[in-house]
Every structure is written in C-alpha cells, then in structure tokens.
Amino acid sequence: MTEDMYLMTLVFGTSIVIVLGLPLVRAYIRRQERAHALPPGEGERDQRLARIESSIETMAVEIERISEGQRFVTKLLAEREAPKAIPASSKEHSA
C-alpha cells in the first residue's frame, strides 16, 4: 500500500465516521438531557399535589374542631342532673 492510498483511506474513513457518528452522538446527548429533565406534566402534578395536601391539612383541623365540640357536648350531657321524677297525683294513690 502506497502512502497516497493510505492517506486517501484515512481521509475517507474519517469523513465516514464524522458523517455517521456526529448525528449518533447528538441523538445520544439529547436522550441523556431529556432523561434528566422533568416531563412536561411534572410541574402541574407537583402543584396539584401541594393543593391536595393543603386541603387535607385544612380538613384535619376542621375535623379536630368538630371532635372537640362533640366531646364538650358529651361532657355537658354527662354532668347534667338526672331529670326529677314527676310526683304522682293523689288520685292514682287512692285507687
């Protein structure tokens, strides 16, 4: 193999590698960047989950307030005096 043929093989081989390899490298880099980026709906989903979490915390506070009210009413009813018996009428005793 002469030096000219060797040089021509090197030039054409390098050209083929660049023409075919450059798009492959670009595609690989783009795929890697997309893998690390958030999907389009990710931000919306995070906002929605934050709203749901806030709503649940609000409901928990309200349920606790209802429970406190129920315990208070139950305590009042338990401490209340028993109703007094109605006195029997004198006619019922004489019969």
Q: Residue 74: is its pLDDT beyond 70?
A: yes
pLDDT class for 83, splitting at 50, 70, 90? low
pLDDT of residue 12: 87
Burial string for 52-71 (b: 16+ CB within 10 Å, else e) reads eeeeeeeeeeeeeeeeeeee
Instruction: Tell me the per-residue pLDDT of 23-34, one tens digit each, with 9 for 90 and over.
Output: 889 999 998 888
Q: pLDDT tens-digit profile of 20-66? A: 888 889 999 998 888 777 666 778 888 999 999 999 999 999 999 99
Closest CA to 47 of 36, 59, 60, 38: 38
Domain residue ranges of the chain, discontinuous segments joined by +:
1-37, 40-79
